[in-house]
C-alpha cells in the first residue's frame, strides 16, 4: 500500500465517525497536551482506534486525535506525537499531520519542548521558530515521490509562515506574554546532547534544540500547508544548565506554562481561523 493510500484509509475511518471538518491543526508536544481539553464539543479519538496511526510511546504524550472548536473555529489536535527515536519509521512520524492536511487543514501550529542554547534565556521561555536545521539525517520525503502529496523538491525558503508568526506575536502582545524567536535544530535523540554538541549547534546558528517538529514541517510544506512552530524552552541545553537534564524536568516546566500556552494557542487559533 502507498503512503497516500494509508492516509486515505485513516481519513475514511474518521469520516465514518462524522467528525467536523477542521480548518486549523495543532500538534501538542511534551507536557503540552492540555490544550486539547480546552476544545468545545471535543471528540477525542484514540490513535489505537484508527488504521495506520502510530502509537505514542513516551510519557507525557497521550495519543488522541481531538476534534473540537475554539470560538467558531473547527480545530484538530494531535494530543501526543510520535518521534523518530521511538523507532518509528519517518513516514509513520508524519502520518498524523498528513491526515490533518487531507482533512482540509490549511494551517498547522506545532508545539514542542526544547533545550535553549542562549545562556541568557530561562526555562519556561517561549520561542517562535523562524527556521530549522534538519540534523536528523532523514526526511519524510525520502523515497519515491508521490505527486499527490507534493513536488519532488519542495522549497523551504519560507518554511515557517510569516503570517502565522506575526499572529503569534500579536496574540502574545494582547495577552501580555513575552516571546522569543529563533532557529530550532532537530536532532534524532533520544540522548540529550553533549556539551560539545551544544557548542557546535551554537556555531551553526541554532537557538533551541529538540527531537521533533522537523519531519512534520517538511511533510506539511510538501503538502503546501502553512506552518508555525512554538518551542517551550524547558531547560538550558547541556553544558549551559547547572543540573543534569531529565524528561521529568522537561514535562514539569512545560506544564508550568500551561495557562499561558493555552491562552496563546487559543488566541492564535481564533486569529488565523476566524474570518
Ligand atoms: N535537548 C533535546 N531535546 C530536548 C531538550 C534538550 O535539551 N529539552 C527538551 N527537549
Q: What is the pLDDT of residues 220-246, one digit of tens each?
A: 999 999 999 999 999 999 999 888 888
Question: Of 143-147, 192-196, 270-274, where does mean pLDDT reach its minimum?
Answer: 270-274
pLDDT in tens, 74-112: 999 999 889 999 999 999 999 999 999 999 999 999 999
Q: Strand 107-116 to strand 208-210: parallel, antiparallel, or no bridges (unpaired)?
A: antiparallel
Residue 41 CA: distances (Å) to CA of 37, 68, 78, 243: 10, 5, 16, 42
Q: How much is the average pLDDT of 51-80?
A: 87
Over residues 205-209, the mean pLDDT reads 98
Inter-residue contact 237 to 115 (CB < 8 Å) = yes
> For 81-273, CATH number?
3.40.50.1580
Q: Residue 128, exposed/middle/buried by CB under 10 A (0-12, 13-18, 19+)? A: buried
- The protein residue with its alpha carbon nearest to ligand 1, atom 7, reads 115
With a cut of 80, say whether residue 60 has pLDDT above it: no
Residue with cell 533520544: 190
With cell 491543526, the residue in question is 25
Write the residue with the smallest CA distance to atom 5 of ligand 1.
115
Report pLDDT for 252.
87
Q: With contact defined as beta carbons under 8 Å apart, do 24 and 116 qualify?
A: no
- d(CA 225, CA 24) in angstroms, rounded, equals 10
User: What does the pLDDT average to over 254-272?
Assistant: 92
Which is nearest to 165 in space by CA: 107, 120, 205? 107
User: For a pocket test of ligand 1, which of 110, 209, 247 has the largest count of ligand atoms closer than 8 A to its C-beta?
Assistant: 209
Reply yes or no on whether the pLDDT at 189 is more than 80: yes
The pLDDT of 159-174, averaged and rounded, is 97
What one-character DSSP code corresponds to residue 154? -
Query: In whole angstroms, what is the distance from residue 92 CA to residue 143 CA?
Result: 13
Question: What is the pLDDT, as a whole number, of residue 263?
Answer: 93
User: What is the Cα–Cα distance from 1 to 91, expressed in whole angstroms?
Assistant: 13
Q: What's phi and psi for 175, nearest 5 deg?
A: -90, -10
Predicted confidence band of residue 266 (pLDDT cuts 50, 70, 90)? very high
- The C-alpha cell 502520518 sits at 95
Whether 59 shows a pLDDT value over 90: the answer reads no
Ligand 1, CB cutoff 6 Å, lining residues: 113-115, 192-193, 209-211, 234-235, 237, 245, 250
Distance 234 CA to ligand 1 centre (A): 7
The band of 176, judged by pLDDT with boundaries at 50, 70 and 90, is: very high
Cell numbers 510511546 correspond to 57
pLDDT for 122 beyond 80: yes
**pLDDT value at position 160?**
98
243 burial via Cβ count (<10 Å: 0-12, 13-18, 19+) = exposed
Instruction: Please list the alpha-helical segments (H only) found in the chain.
Output: 3-16, 90-93, 95-102, 162-175, 195-204, 214-222, 247-256, 258-273
Please check whether residue 69 is in contact with residue 40, taking contact to mean a CB–CB distance below 8 angstroms: yes
Mean pLDDT calculated for residue range 243-256: 85
Q: Is the pTM of this model over 0.75?
A: yes
State the pLDDT at residue 31: 75
Question: How many angstroms separate the alpha carbon of residue 245 from the centre of ligand 1?
Answer: 8
Determine the residue of 185, 210, 249 to mutate for testing ligand 1's pocket, defined as the one with the most ligand atoms within 8 A of the Cβ atom. Answer: 210
Task: Report, as an integer, the average pLDDT of 166-171.
Answer: 97
Based on the number of CB atoms within 10 Å of its own CB, is 145 exposed (0-12), middle (13-18) or buried (19 or more)? middle
**Pairwise CA distance, residues 261 & 111, whole Å:** 10
Residue 195 has pLDDT above 80, yes or no: yes
Give the burial string for 19-58 (b: 16+ CB within 10 Å, else e).
beebbbbbbbbbbbbbbbebbeebbebebeebebbbebeb
Q: What's the rounded mean pLDDT across residues 31-40?
A: 87
Q: pLDDT tier at 183 (50, 70, 90 boundaries)?
A: very high
Amino acid at each position: 500500500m502507498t503512503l497516500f493510500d494509508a492516509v486515505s484509509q485513516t481519513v475514511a475511518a474518521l469520516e465514518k465517525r462524522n467528525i467536523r471538518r477542521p480548518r486549523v491543526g495543532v500538534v501538542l508536544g511534551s507536557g503540552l497536551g492540555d490544550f486539547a481539553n480546552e476544545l468545545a464539543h471535543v471528540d477525542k479519538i484514540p490513535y489505537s482506534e484508527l488504521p495506520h496511526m502510530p502509537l505514542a510511546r513516551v510519557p507525557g504524550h497521550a495519543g488522541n486525535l481531538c476534534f473540537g472548536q475554539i470560538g467558531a473555529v473547527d480545530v484538530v489536535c494531535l494530543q501526543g506525537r510520535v518521534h523518530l527515536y521511538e523507532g518509528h519509521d519517518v513516514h509513520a512520524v508524519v502520518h498524523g499531520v498528513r491526515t490533518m492536511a487531507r482533512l482540509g487543514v490549511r494551517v498547522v501550529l506545532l508545539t514542542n519542548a526544547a533545550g535553549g542554547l542562549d545562556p541568557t534565556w530561562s526555562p519556561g521561555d517561549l520561542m517562535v521558530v523562524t527556521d530549522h536545521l534538519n540534523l536528523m539525517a532523514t526526511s519524510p520525503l525520502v523515497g519515491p515521490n508521490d505527486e499527490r502529496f507534493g513536488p519532488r523538491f519542495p522549497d523551504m525558503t519560507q518554511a515557517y509562515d510569516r503570517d502565522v508568526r506575526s499572529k503569534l506575536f500579536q496574540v502574545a502582545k494582547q495577552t501580555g506574554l513575552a516571546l522569543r524567536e529563533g532557529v530550532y535544530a532537530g536532532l534524532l535523540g533520544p540522548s540529550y546532547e553533549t556539551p560539545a554538541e551544544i557548542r557546535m549547534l551554537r556555531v551553526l546558528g541554532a537557538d533551541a534544540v529538540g527531537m521533533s517538529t522537523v519531519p512534520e514541517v517538511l511533510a506539511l510544506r510538501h503538502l503546501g500547508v502553512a506552518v508555525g512552530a512554538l518551542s517551550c524552552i524547558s531547560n538550558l541545553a547541556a553544558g549551559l544548565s547547572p543540573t543534569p537534564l531529565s524528561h521529568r524536568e522537561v514535562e514539569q516546566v512545560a506544564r508550568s506554562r500551561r495557562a499561558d500556552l493555552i491562552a496563546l494557542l487559543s488566541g492564535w487559533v481564533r486569529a488565523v481561523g476566524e474570518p
